[in-house]
């Protein structure tokens, strides 16, 4: 009997992510960064997604966040492809914010976000699942932190774009997925969480 949500490959992916996100923490917290990809994996598992989708969820930030002196982008791409397959690597690419465009021109932070939204049009169904799970966990984490704190500004202050930019980003991703016809069951949950985030944002004005 195959148990969805656990396999040797998924265990290997968690170990791989733990190694490459080592010493990284979540914005404005002391939580190990690994808690984020692990929660993305749990969300995807809850919706019954297959190993490749769950593994891509675990690894979705590895290329974007862990390129450093010891690991070039090319090395990370090669390692992911060799260990987890070309399809997982392709999915990770589709949900990775690019620093340069196809012509090698460096993108500004705002352009990176727009590029991400634009590329969702060509992204696979699997990549859209990973995108939705990623944004669901991030937005839900912000909602939970806002509900626990008496100082909402301390939460919004974690983000360079501030409260308005953060709210707009989650709304933009949600609306982009919806506009592309991505109507997977996870969208109902993402819709609810983005609405909660916006409500908390308004209540703090």
Contacts of 6 (CB under 8 A, 6+ apart): none
Q: Is 118 a catalytic residue?
A: no
**How far is Cα 54 from Cα 123, in angstroms, rounded to an integer?**
16
* Distance, CA of 199 to CA of 57 (rounded, Å): 28
Contact 43, 4 (CB under 8 A): no
Q: Which two tokens stand for residue 185?
A: 């069951």
* Top CATH class, 8-203: mainly alpha
Kindly name the residue from 22, 52, 65, 103 that is annotated as catalytic. Answer: 65
- For the record, the structure tokens of 71 come out as 């690991």
Please check whether residue 107 is in contact with residue 101, taking contact to mean a CB–CB distance below 8 angstroms. yes
Determine the Cα–Cα distance for residues 86 and 107; give it in Å rounded to an integer: 26
pLDDT at 1: 37
- Select which of 52, 64, 115, 198 is catalytic: 64
Q: Does 198 qualify as catalytic in the annotation? A: no
Domain locations in the chain as residue ranges: 8-203
Which tokens belong to 204?
């703090």
Is residue 106 classed as helix, strand or coil in its secondary structure? strand
Q: Which residues contact 152 (CB under 8 A, 6 or more apart)?
A: 146, 200, 204
Q: pLDDT truncated to tens, each residue of the chain (205 aa)?
A: 344 667 999 999 999 999 988 888 887 777 889 999 999 999 999 999 999 999 999 999 998 776 555 667 788 899 999 999 999 999 999 999 988 888 889 999 999 999 999 999 999 999 999 999 999 999 999 999 999 999 999 999 999 999 999 999 999 999 999 999 999 999 999 999 999 999 999 986 5
Predicted structure pTM score? 0.93
């Amino acid at each position: 009997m195959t148990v969805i949500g656990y396999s040797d490959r998924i265990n290997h992916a968690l170990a791989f992510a733990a190694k490459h996100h080592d010493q990284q923490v979540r914005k404005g917290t002391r939580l190990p960064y690994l808690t984020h990809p692990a929660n993305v994996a749990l969300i995807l598992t809850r919706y019954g997604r297959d190993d490749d989708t769950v593994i891509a969820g675990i690894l979705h930030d590895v290329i974007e966040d862990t390129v450093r002196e010891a690991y070039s982008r090319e090395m990370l791409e090669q390692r992911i492809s060799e260990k987890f397959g070309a399809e997982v690597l392709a999915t990770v690419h589709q949900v990775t914010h690019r620093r340069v465009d196809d012509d090698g021109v460096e993108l500004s932070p705002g352009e990176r976000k727009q590029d991400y939204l634009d590329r969702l049009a060509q992204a696979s169904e699997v990549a859209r699942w990973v995108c939705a799970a990623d944004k669901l966990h991030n937005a839900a984490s912000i909602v939970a932190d806002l509900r626990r704190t008496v100082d909402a500004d301390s939460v919004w202050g974690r983000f360079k774009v501030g409260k308005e930019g953060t709210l707009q980003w989650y709304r933009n991703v949600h609306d982009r997925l919806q506009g592309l016809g991505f109507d997977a069951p996870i969208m109902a949950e993402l819709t609810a969480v983005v609405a909660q985030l916006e409500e908390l944002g308004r209540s703090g004005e």
